[in-house]
Amino acid sequence: MTATALFQSALASLPEIVVITGACILLILGQLVGKGQGHVFVWASVAVVLMAALGTLMLASEVRPAYTGMFVADGFSVFFKFVFYIATVLTFFLSRKYADIEGIESSEYYVLLLFALSGMMIMASATDLLSLYVGLELMVLCTYVLTGFLRREPRSNEAALKYVILGAVSTAIFLYGVSLIYGLTGTTQLDGMAAAVTGDPLDPGLLLAVVFIVAGLVFKVGAVPFHMWVPDVYEGAPTTITAFMSVGPKAAGFAVILRVFLNPLVAASDAWLVVAVIAVVTMALGSFVALVQDNFKRLLAYSSIAHAGFAIFGVVAGSADGTASVMLYLLIYSMMNLGIFGIVIMMRNGDFSGEIIEDYAGFARSHPGLALLMLLYLFSLAGIPPTAGFFAKFYVLVALIERGFVMLAVIAVLLSAVAAYFYIRIVMVIYMREPQRAFDPALTPLVRATLAFTALGTLGIGLFPERFLRLAQGAVFGG
């Protein structure tokens, strides 16, 4: 590697470098600044992310391969990086007060989120299984720790432990697949890997390898059969982290899946069948099990499984439209899910946990505005127009039907009708029950800003999807 190449590579990965440097500085700074300076970290972290976003924007104009083909800064990664930025910044906003209430505020909290962000960014940009793996681990290691951040709460410890063990198993499976790919093709680059298999009928060993890799990745997005961690982890983790995990790492997982699947490796095989089965089962499981949940966080966990299933339908479609549909889906899902989590987080105040659905009975009476927002998010999650959630699903269906998978589309919509049931059940609770107690939501300006932003996104993308659709398509078509 020459100095110029190194410089070019560093330039291409500037956003990542900014985030990691910022995280390191904050890590040290956090030990020097006294306690009770939470707002400093929030704003410093936000500043870091904004700087990275600026860098990403400046570099978005062209495709920049870097680090001898291990990394690439292209439109695809830019799109995902912005999803990550949004998710992270909103998580920062939501965390400020919540962390205070839970007593977990520390600089490490923000630093870990920043590191997780950098991991996700690397995942989105990785073009080599090695860089992919490193990014993945950087992300999950941080989320492991963040999951267990409520140190005095056995539930949180337990969630973290489950997450870490199952996560490690999935990583091992993923790596085993990678080692097989390496053994069979002699390369770990996604391009090289694809080149090694195009044309010929797929070697069964390669298929096995792909299955292993898919299994490992499927874990990260919480799809069947590696979904069992999701509800427990979502329930046990601090709610802000749950919100973050349901959006950021999930999107990152999909970024990787799409990158791998965009390659002829899978296009040339019948792997879509496997993926289709995963999609159907995931969505069915998420939808049906969510029906019987009483805990809001668990419900949202199953809901996120169901949504992952729906997004995987877009992967099944596989075409450029399918890819773009998954990307758009993730963007929209981030908006609405962070919104609904924002409400749940806000409700955590005093002795009120806000985790039980029944807790929200009669919420509409005392806080009509917030209830309206909740209504918006919930109907968006259910996929009812004119919210963004509808357009997300619509586009996935368009992609599916374009490829001729009409039956899959029918299954998808029927399952989403099932899923709609549990969302409107919550609407029922907040609108049609009498209040059991007084609500005292922890509404800070930051939380307000988050809710406003997500509501705007949820409604805005639903009503005027064109621009975002173009962004997603441009990210795919433009390389």
Partner 1 sequence: MGLPLLSLIVFTPAAGAVVLLLFRSEDAVRWTALAITVLDLALCIAMLAGFDQSTHQMQFTEIHPWVPTLGITYALGIDGISALFVFMTALLGWICVLASWVAINSKVKEFMVSLLVMQALMLGVFCALDLFLFYVCWEAMLIPMYLIIGVWGGDGRVYAAFKFFLYTLAGSLLFLIGVIVLYFHGGRTFDILALTGQDLPFWVQSWLFFAFLIAFAVKVPMVPVHTWLPDAHVQAPTAGSIILAGVLLKMGAYGFLRFSLPMLPEASVYYSTLMLALSALAIVYGGLLALAQDDLKKLVAYSSISHMGFVTLGVFALNLRGLEGGILQMFNHGITTGALFLLVGLIYERTHTRNIPDYGGLMKVAPVYTAFLALFTLSSMALPGTNSFVGELLVLSGGFAANLAAGAAAVVGALLSAAYLLGMFRRVALGPASIGARFKIRDVNAREMAAILPLAVFVLWVGLYPKPFLNIIDVSVKHLLAQVLTKGSGQ
Partner 2 sequence: MSGMEFLPVLFMAAGIVLVAMTTLFVSSLLRPSNPYPAKNMPYECGMDPSGEAAGGRFRVPFFILAILLVVFDVEAMFLFPWAVVLKEIGFIGYVEMFVFMLLLIVGFAYAWLKGALEWEE
Partner 3 sequence: MVPLSWYILLGVILFVIGAAGVLLRRNILVVLMSLELLLNSVNINFVAFGRIYDDFRGQIFAIFVIAITAAEVAVALGIVVALVRNKSTLKVDDVTMMKG
Instruction: Report the sign of the C-alpha dihedral through residues 263, 265, 268, 273, in that order.
Output: negative
Q: From the list 40, 161, 207, 398, which residue makes contact with partner 1 (rule: CB under 8 A)?
A: 398
CB 148 within 8 A of CB 159: yes
Please count the CA atoms within 13 angstroms of the CA of 401 that sit on its side-chain side.
12
Q: Where are the alpha helices (DSSP H) in 151-270?
A: 154-185, 190-197, 204-221, 229-236, 239-262, 264-267
Secondary structure of residue 72 in the 3-state scheme: strand
Could you give the CA distance from residue 183 to residue 208 in angstroms, rounded to a whole number? 12
Q: Does the footprint of partner 1 cover residue 184 (CB under 8 A)?
A: no
Nearer to partner 3, 141 or 401 (CB): 141
Least distance CB 274 / partner 3 (angstroms)? 20
Number of residues that bind partner 1 (CB under 8 A): 35
CA distance 429 to 358: 7
Candidate list 5, 130, 165, 406; residue touching partner 1; CB under 8 A: 406
CB of 311 to partner 1, least distance (A): 17
Measured between alpha carbons, how far is 114 from 161 in angstroms, rounded to an integer?
A: 22
Q: Which is nearer to partner 3, 173 or 346 (CB)?
A: 173
**Contact partner at residue 375 from partner 1, partner 3, partner 2, none, CB < 5 to 8 Å by partner kind:** partner 1
Please say whether the dihedral angle defined by the alpha carbons of residues 453, 459, 461 and 466, taken in this order, is positive or negative. Answer: negative
Least CB distance to partner 2 at residue 25 (A):
9
Nearer to partner 2, 77 or 107 (CB): 107
Q: Is the dihedral of CA 252, 255, 257, 263 positive or negative?
A: negative
What is the Cα–Cα distance from 21 to 263, expressed in whole angstroms? Answer: 32
Sole binder of partner 1 in the list 153, 402, 435, 448 (CB under 8 A): 402
- Tell me which long-range contacts 461-467 makes (C-beta under 8 A, separation of at least 24): 461/331, 461/332, 461/335, 461/388, 461/391, 462/380, 462/385, 462/386, 462/387, 462/388, 462/389, 462/390, 462/391, 463/386, 465/328, 465/388, 465/391, 465/395
Residue carrying structure tokens 């990152």: 252
Q: Which does 169 bind (CB under 5 to 8 A by kind): partner 3, partner 2, partner 1, none?
A: partner 3
Residue 409 makes contact with partner 1 by CB under 8 A: yes
Choose which of 11, 27, 141, 202 interacts with partner 2 (CB under 8 A): 27
Q: Confirm or reject binding of residue 69 to partner 1 (CB under 8 A).
A: no
322, exposed or middle or buried, with CB in 10 Å at 0-12, 13-18, 19+?
Answer: buried
Q: Which residues bind partner 3 (CB under 8 A)?
A: 129-130, 133-134, 137, 141, 144-145, 148, 151-155, 157-162, 164-165, 168-169, 171-173, 175-176, 178-180, 182-183, 186-188, 228-229, 231-232, 235-236, 298
Number of residues that bind partner 2 (CB under 8 A): 10
Of 141 and 184, nearer to partner 2 (C-beta) is 141
Q: Which stretch binds partner 1 (CB under 8 A): 7-15, 101-109, 145-153, 388-396?
A: 388-396
Q: Within 10 A of 277 (CB to CB), how many other CB atoms are there?
A: 13
- Per CB under 8 A, which region of 20-28, 117-125, 253-261, 296-304 contacts partner 2? 20-28
Among 8, 15, 16, 24, binds partner 2 (CB under 8 A): 24
- Residues 39/32, Cβ–Cβ less than 8 Å: no
Q: Nearest approach, Cβ of 17 to partner 2 (angstroms)? A: 9
> Using the rule CB under 8 A, is 168 a contact of partner 2?
no
H helix or E strand, kind and range, residue 152: none
Residue 32 near partner 2 by CB under 8 A: yes
Instruction: Using the Cα atoms of residue 168, residue 173, residue 177 and residue 183 in order, give the sign of their dihedral.
Output: positive
Question: Which of 27, 424 has the CB closer to partner 2?
Answer: 27
**Within 13 A of 280's CA, how many CA atoms are on the CB side?**
12
Q: Is residue 428 involved in binding partner 1 (CB under 8 A)?
A: yes
Residue 313 touches partner 1, criterion: CB under 8 A: no
Q: Where do contacts with partner 1 occur on this chain (CB under 8 A)?
A: 364-365, 368, 375, 379, 384-386, 390, 394-395, 397-398, 401-402, 406, 409-410, 413-414, 416-417, 420-421, 424-425, 427-428, 431-432, 465-466, 469-470, 473
Q: Where do contacts with partner 2 occur on this chain (CB under 8 A)?
A: 1-3, 6, 20, 24, 27-28, 31-32
